[in-house]
């Protein structure tokens, strides 16, 4: 029995009922203004304290139901009490999240008088975090300090506010999330849901007309959500039959369509592999590169079992990223060229920040894609371990700034974090190995080889994409050779003792056995333990 339970959130899209988007949008037309008005009404120090101090208690219990009301077109709207509790809960959660920010703000104002606000933001954050921890013994998340400081800088430098004599609640006016509702804070009251093998059956309380006046104007409506195939065994195995607090969102697409999304958070059992079937240690060896983001090969007991898989980069995407960089260089050039008081400088600064944020999102998306593909391959071929190069050793090639920035510090850290956490969920082991010389030694005979431009060429080309071994005449793509050598290093590490240090030139060669096909028999699939 595995005790570790991972709660993850899954979004289900309602597909069966074509009328539902209209109905949900009508619901949000009522809920949205009611939430905003309630938030505005009770935004005070008293509520901040009351909600913030007891984070365990449901928020709606601290907010009286009578506070929730809405007047539309001079008619007062009737909300069923369970709906009012939903709205109160949503508002309570917003206020609760502001409580920590308020504490952070108050702590920062204490130390700020002795610190210069105009200096670089990162240094400022560092200084404030250090002072708070050392002299006041208060610790906040780095990002929260950063965001609060950004706010304070705007207030002080731009609007010339005297923040030391103002209170947090007067400075900040929080906003309600758009088209987002915490459903059913009191379980099963406003949204009844039942789970069967394949579906989640819902019953929603929704308004019949635009401005409901009495209980009669609200009805229950049935809806059915499909549980995706890959989730079913995990849900079946999890001990808790019901998901946690659902959320309802209305997604507005660019083409004008509205899609209601129900988001459930499930506490699911961890997936571990069926080790009887995978008796031998099967490894997915991965070489990370700049031209091909990843090249992988399945190996087991010193033998190579599959042909290489090349994950190639999306060319359009690369062009797009390059274009972003061109824009950045141009903007930076202009920012240094003109004096700071120049009229367009502020606009340029904003534009620069926007492009940086865009790039960051882009890269984050790429990293997620890469990790998902690697894990998919590993589970499909029944690997229990992923051997990957240790990114700490990575040094970008000299004179290739265009390529090297694709693997910046930030992205490497992110890649590592995501791969490790996701592999844990899949029950896979990640082993990092030193990638030194992995693309210059022959995986078949362990001798040193050459880099060439294309197969058939016999002269050395240091920028060539191919590897050629003059001893056994083995010739292959460099990334592929890199992946095989990563496996050799991994195997040597498993066998090596403290006395006997391995070198890549003495590690055992890997031979090609035969291609394995992905196991699709019932026993071959990842097995879920309960
Ligand atoms: Zn060779």
287 Cα to the center of ligand 1, angstroms: 19
Percent of the chain with pLDDT over 70: 83
Q: Does the pLDDT at position 153 exceed 70?
A: yes
Question: What's the whole-number average pLDDT of the chain?
Answer: 79
446 Cα to the center of ligand 1, angstroms: 6
DSSP conformational letter for 56:
T
pLDDT value, residue 279: 46
Q: Does the pLDDT at position 176 exceed 70?
A: yes
Question: How large is the average pLDDT for residues 246-260?
Answer: 83
506 Cα to the center of ligand 1, angstroms: 13
512 Cα to the center of ligand 1, angstroms: 13
Q: How many residues does the chain have?
A: 530
Q: Does the pLDDT at position 378 exceed 70?
A: yes
Residue whose pair of structure tokens reads 């492009």 in the numeric block:
355
468 Cα to the center of ligand 1, angstroms: 8
Confidence of residue 277 (pLDDT cuts 50, 70, 90): very low
CA neighbours closer than 13 Å in the CB half-sphere of residue 198: 0
475 Cα to the center of ligand 1, angstroms: 8
Burial of 58 (0-12, 13-18, 19+ CB in 10 A): middle
Q: Does the pLDDT at position 409 exceed 70?
A: no
Q: Does the pLDDT at position 407 exceed 60?
A: no
Beta-strand runs (E) in 217-257: 218-226, 247-252
Beta-strand runs (E) in 140-198: 180-182, 191-195
For residue 437, the surrounding DSSP H or E stretch is none
Sheet holding 247-252, edge to edge: 5-13, 258-269, 247-252, 180-182
pTM: 0.54
467 Cα to the center of ligand 1, angstroms: 10
pLDDT value, residue 354: 92
For residue 489, the surrounding DSSP H or E stretch is helix 478-495
477 Cα to the center of ligand 1, angstroms: 14
Q: Does the pLDDT at position 90 exceed 80?
A: yes
Q: Domains of the chain: which residue ranges?
A: 5-24+179-269, 32-171, 282-515
Q: Could you tell me which residue, 83 or 55, shows the higher pLDDT?
A: 83
Confidence of residue 396 (pLDDT cuts 50, 70, 90): low
pLDDT value, residue 449: 87
pLDDT value, residue 271: 54
245 Cα to the center of ligand 1, angstroms: 59
Range with the poorest average pLDDT among 39-48, 182-191, 472-481: 182-191
Q: Does the pLDDT at position 275 exceed 50?
A: no
Distance linking the first and last C-alpha atoms of the chain: 5
Residue 103, phi then psi, degrees to nearest 5: -60, -45
480 Cα to the center of ligand 1, angstroms: 14
Tell me the C-alpha distance between 319 and 324, whole Å.
Answer: 9
CA distances 50 to 55, 95, 298, Å, are: 9, 10, 57
Helix axes 409-426, 345-380, angle to 10 degrees: 30
Question: How large is the average pLDDT for residues 30-46?
Answer: 89
Range with the poorest average pLDDT among 137-141, 179-183, 238-242, 345-349: 238-242
449 Cα to the center of ligand 1, angstroms: 7
pLDDT value, residue 5: 58
154 Cα to the center of ligand 1, angstroms: 63
Q: Does the pLDDT at position 525 exceed 50?
A: no
Confidence of residue 399 (pLDDT cuts 50, 70, 90): low
| 463-512 pLDDT tens trace | 788 888 888 888 888 889 999 999 988 888 877 666 556 666 777 777 77
Tell me the C-alpha distance between 530 and 522, whole Å.
Answer: 17
Q: Does the pLDDT at position 47 exceed 80?
A: yes
Tell me the C-alpha distance between 442 and 280, whole Å.
Answer: 25
448 Cα to the center of ligand 1, angstroms: 7
**Comparing C-alpha atoms, which of 109, 108, 97, 110 is closest to residue 145?**
108
**Comparing C-alpha atoms, which of 427, 443, 413, 461 is closest to residue 507?**
443
466 Cα to the center of ligand 1, angstroms: 13
**Alpha carbon 4 to its chain's center:** 21
Question: How large is the average pLDDT for residues 91-114?
Answer: 86
Question: How large is the average pLDDT for residues 341-360?
Answer: 86
Q: Does the pLDDT at position 406 exceed 60?
A: no
458 Cα to the center of ligand 1, angstroms: 14
470 Cα to the center of ligand 1, angstroms: 7
CATH of the domain spanning 5-24+179-269, picked from 2.40.280, 3.40.50, 1.10.3470, 3.30.1040: 2.40.280
Residues pairing with 288 in the sheet = 294
442 Cα to the center of ligand 1, angstroms: 5
447 Cα to the center of ligand 1, angstroms: 6
445 Cα to the center of ligand 1, angstroms: 4
399 Cα to the center of ligand 1, angstroms: 30
513 Cα to the center of ligand 1, angstroms: 17
Residues pairing with 432 in the sheet = 388
Confidence of residue 343 (pLDDT cuts 50, 70, 90): confident
DSSP conformational letter for 177:
P
- Token pair of 67 as six digits: 């506070």
473 Cα to the center of ligand 1, angstroms: 6
Confidence of residue 394 (pLDDT cuts 50, 70, 90): low
């Amino acid at each position: 029995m595995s005790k570790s339970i991972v709660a993850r959130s899954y979004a289900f899209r309602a597909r069966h009922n074509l009328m539902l988007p209209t109905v949900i949008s009508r619901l949000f037309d009522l809920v949205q203004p009611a939430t905003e008005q309630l938030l505005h009404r009770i935004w005070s120090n008293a509520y901040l304290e009351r909600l913030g101090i007891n984070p365990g208690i449901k928020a709606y219990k601290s907010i009286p139901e009578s506070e929730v009301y809405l007047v539309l077109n001079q008619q007062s709207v009737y909300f069923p009490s369970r709906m009012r509790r939903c709205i109160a809960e949503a508002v309570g959660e917003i206020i609760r999240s502001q409580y920590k920010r308020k504490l952070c703000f108050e702590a920062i104002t204490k130390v700020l008088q002795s610190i210069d606000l105009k200096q670089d933001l990162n240094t400022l954050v560092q200084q404030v975090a250090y002072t708070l921890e050392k002299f006041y013994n208060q610790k906040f998340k780095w990002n929260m300090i950063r965001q609060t400081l950004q706010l304070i800088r705007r207030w002080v430098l731009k609007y010339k506010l005297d923040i030391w004599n103002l209170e947090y609640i007067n400075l900040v006016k929080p906003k309600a999330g758009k088209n987002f509702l915490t459903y059913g804070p009191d379980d099963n009251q406003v949204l009844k849901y039942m789970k069967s093998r394949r579906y989640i059956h819902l019953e929603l309380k929704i308004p019949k007309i635009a401005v409901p006046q009495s209980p009669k104007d609200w009805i229950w409506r049935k809806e059915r959500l499909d549980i995706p195939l890959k989730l079913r065994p995990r849900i079946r195995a999890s001990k808790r039959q019901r998901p946690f607090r659902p959320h309802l969102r209305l997604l507005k697409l660019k083409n004008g369509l509205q899609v209601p999304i129900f988001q459930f958070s499930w506490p699911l059992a961890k997936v571990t592999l069926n080790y009887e079937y995978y008796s031998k240690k099967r490894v997915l060896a991965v070489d990370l590169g700049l031209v091909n983001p990843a090249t992988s090969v399945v190996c087991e007991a010193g033998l190579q079992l599959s042909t290489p898989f090349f994950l190639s980069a999306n060319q359009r995407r690369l062009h797009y990223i390059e274009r972003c960089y061109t824009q950045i260089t141009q903007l930076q050039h202009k920012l240094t060229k003109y004096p700071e008081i120049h009229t367009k400088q502020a606009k340029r600064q904003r534009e620069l920040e926007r492009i940086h944020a865009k790039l960051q999102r882009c890269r984050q998306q790429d990293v997620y894609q890469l990790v998902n593909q690697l894990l998919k391959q590993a589970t499909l071929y029944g690997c229990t371990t992923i051997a990957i190069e240790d990114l700490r050793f990575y040094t970008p090639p000299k004179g290739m700034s265009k390529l090297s920035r694709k693997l910046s510090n930030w992205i490497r850290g992110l890649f590592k974090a995501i791969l490790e956490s996701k592999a844990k969920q899949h029950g896979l082991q990640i082993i990092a190995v030193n990638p030194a010389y992995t693309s210059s030694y022959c995986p078949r005979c362990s001798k040193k080889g050459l880099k060439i431009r294309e197969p058939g060429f016999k002269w050395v080309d240091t920028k060539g994409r191919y590897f050629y071994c003059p001893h056994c005449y083995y010739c292959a793509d460099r990334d592929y050779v890199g992946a095989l050598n990563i496996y050799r290093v991994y195997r040597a590490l498993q066998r090596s003792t403290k006395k006997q240090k391995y070198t890549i030139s003495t590690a055992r060669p890997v031979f090609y056995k035969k291609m394995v096909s992905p196991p699709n028999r019932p026993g071959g699939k990842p097995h879920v333990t309960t």
